[in-house]
Amino acid sequence: MLNKSALSVAITAALSFSVFASDNIEHITVTANKFEQPLDDALSAITVINRTTIEQSNVRDVVSLLDSVAGVQVVRNGGFGQTVSLYLRGNDAKHTLVLMDGVRITDANSGSASLTNIPLNSIERIEVIRGAKAAMYGSDAIAGVINIVSREGNYNVLAATTGSHNYSNVEGVATLKHNALTISTNVGYEHTDGYDVIEKDPAKPIGKDHDTDGYYNANAGVNIKYGDVESGLFNLRSQYSEGEGEYDNAWGSDEYRFENYTHNLTWQRRTDKFSQKASYSLGKEQNKQQGSPNDNNAYVTKRSQFEYLSQFHFNDALLFSGNLTLLNEDVSASSATFSQTERDNQSLSLGAFFNDQNWLAEVVLRSDDYDFHGRANTYTLAVGKQLTEQLSVKVNHGTAFRAPSLTNAFTVDNPYYLPNPAIKPEEATNNEVILTYSESNWRVQTALYDNRVTDKIVNQYLPERRKYIPGNVDRANFEGIDLSVGVDAFDIEHSLEASYTKAEDAKTGTQFSRRAKRTLSYRAYKQWENLDVTLHVQYRGEREEAWAQARLPSYTVFNLAANYQLFDGLKLTARVENLTDKQYTNAIAGKAQDGSLLGYKPLGRQAYVGVNYQF
């Protein structure tokens, strides 16, 4: 559990912040347990980002959106289209499961999810579910789940934005409704010339990396719903995106092309006592490096999944559920060579959920059987109690795992890595206590957690082979506190998300690289008749960069957004990113000849203006 010094620092940090705003919590529904329920009835710590919040903030990508959530730290290697690492509660990026309409979007080659290439215009809402959720979702959900839901399209939209570095974005949403049929489509195109993302050594001559690193993303999606009470509801959600990103690389390729899609067809039907849902999904993540005649590496993951979920409503308070999932992952279209190019997973979970408006409880058991890696059994036990009209407590205990990537186990003739066919899944145990206090115009929630990861997969360097080999050699401890506060005061909505995180190597007690112990995100929202303004302040504490033996200093960034309703349906939008043009370093890219460190450049001051028409 948390040691005394960590807990005291966390509480001190929590008490030093006073405000945070909440959106009508009782009306927010979530699908953390794969069925709809009010947010307050969920026994996990969950943050919901809806379309209204996205449009109020005028952020330009999903990475910026997630970086303001309690417990989330995002490290960019530059601007748009660059590599991004998301650390949820200090855990490795690979310990967070990312879904798009229920479809995994992780690269099975590397085990990482390319968040930077998810177009923001295609998103209706995002649920950030913190804590071990493998008993419900399977592999990768050690730290939590990011569940992205594609655009619903309740109205028609045309929008355009322009800004710094020749940035341009156009998007549209169209919706058609006829009796039991609803068809919604979304399209978007985004482009920027970018900037030079890595600091350069002045002692070296100008080379091919002394250039701007641009990006573009073209995307389209459709959401079709049809059905009635008797036959059930059919829902097809399909999203496609392609584009190109440039980056700095002293040798080989310095740009990549991507092509991604997710398709999910779902049927669901409910009676008074029994409900069921069946879905079939397809997904592809493709990243092809370009820019050098001898470097055209393609990383391709294709997935197909069938899922059946049934629920039996025993009475108003008790619900039983069963979930069968069949998953296939295939990397055969990649340019790399594997001794095994695909694997299957069959999983079965059973759950019981209780809610009598005073007590909450859930028990979920799951068994996953991955090809080559054996069986993984996980569970979740949770209970909640409404102590007073304002105060509630929730306690969670659960286990989780992450299956090795196919590269870890089966790579062949790789210039950098050796395979380890005997590698085992990573395992984790998570404990959490959530306290929530609500009044009429303010709300405070704290979540104290302790997450222990064993058999952690680490790449070890073999000098005699001049390659890395993965192995289950490490243990890690992740513990801390997340604080979310919300209040309406002086006609201003205030929100605050703060975290204290210890992410340590269990053997050495050292903090993992690039993860700050203290983070804070504050938002103030004010609306007049036709104008609304949002001020966002983001603080990140000191971080270590282990390989460079450097400590990265803390920093604070200010962002400002505004929307003006010119007339009914038409509004003007604006955002200034990094208002004070703060210079800081999120990560180290290399060293200069004189030994000084060269960092990845963050976004400096950026300005964007646009127009949005809804009809």
Instruction: State residue 106's pLDDT score.
Output: 87
Q: Which residue has the higher pLDDT, 1 or 117?
A: 117
Q: What is the dihedral of CA 196, 201, 202, 203, to 10 degrees?
A: -150
Q: Which of 228, 235, 220 is nearest to 172 (CA)?
A: 220
Average pLDDT over residues 504-515: 95
Strand partners, 244: 216, 257
How do beta strands 374-386 and 391-402 pair? Answer: antiparallel
Low-confidence winner among 3-12, 108-117, 277-286, 605-614 (lowest mean pLDDT)? 3-12
Instruction: State residue 40's pLDDT score.
Output: 87
Angle at 536 between CA 513 and CA 525, to 5 degrees: 150
- Could you tell me if 225 and 177 are in contact, meaning their C-beta atoms sit under 8 angstroms apart? no
Q: Which of 1, 33, 23, 64 is nearest to 486 (CA)?
A: 23
Instruction: State residue 295's pLDDT score.
Output: 61
Q: Was domain 4-150+223-512 assigned CATH 3.40.50.300?
A: no
Q: What is the 3-state secondary structure (H, E, C) of 494-530?
A: EEEEEEEEEEEECCCCCECCCCCCEEEEEEEEEECCC
Residue 20, pLDDT > 50, answer: no
Average pLDDT over residues 536-562: 96
Helices (H) and strands (E) in the chain, counts: 5, 37
Average pLDDT over residues 32-39: 87
The ranges assigned to domains in the chain are: 4-150+223-512
Q: What is the 3-state secondary structure (H, E, C) of 19-44?
A: CCCCCCHHHCEECCCCCCEEHHHCCC
Average pLDDT over residues 59-68: 94
Q: What is the dihedral of CA 592, 596, 599, 602, to 10 degrees?
A: -120
Instruction: State residue 15's pLDDT score.
Output: 35
- Could you tell me if 110 and 331 are in contact, meaning their C-beta atoms sit under 8 angstroms apart? no
- Could you tell me if 189 and 230 are in contact, meaning their C-beta atoms sit under 8 angstroms apart? no
Q: pLDDT tens for residues 442-489?
A: 999 999 999 999 999 999 999 999 999 999 988 999 999 999 999 999
Measured CA to CA, the distance from residue 55 to residue 49 in angstroms comes to: 11
Can you tell me which residue has the tokens 């050098």? Answer: 292
- Could you tell me if 82 and 213 are in contact, meaning their C-beta atoms sit under 8 angstroms apart? yes
Instruction: State residue 17's pLDDT score.
Output: 34
Q: Which of 44, 136, 133, 104 is nearest to 323 (CA)?
A: 136
Q: Which residue has the higher pLDDT, 311 or 7?
A: 311
Instruction: State residue 294's pLDDT score.
Output: 55
- Could you tell me if 523 and 535 are in contact, meaning their C-beta atoms sit under 8 angstroms apart? yes
Q: Which of 333, 244, 337 is nearest to 289 (CA)?
A: 244
pLDDT tier for residue 7 given thresholds of 50, 70 and 90: very low
Mean pLDDT of the chain: 92
Average pLDDT over residues 241-252: 89
Report the percentage of the chain scoring pLDDT > 70: 95
Grouping H, G, I as helix, E, B as strand and the rest as coil, residue 77 is coil
Q: Which residue has the higher pLDDT, 107 or 160?
A: 160
Q: Phi and psi dihedrals of 117, rounded to 5?
A: -100, 10
Instruction: State residue 293's pLDDT score.
Output: 59
Residue 251, pLDDT > 80, answer: no
Average pLDDT over residues 415-435: 95
Q: pLDDT tens for residues 65-84?
A: 999 999 999 999 999 999 99
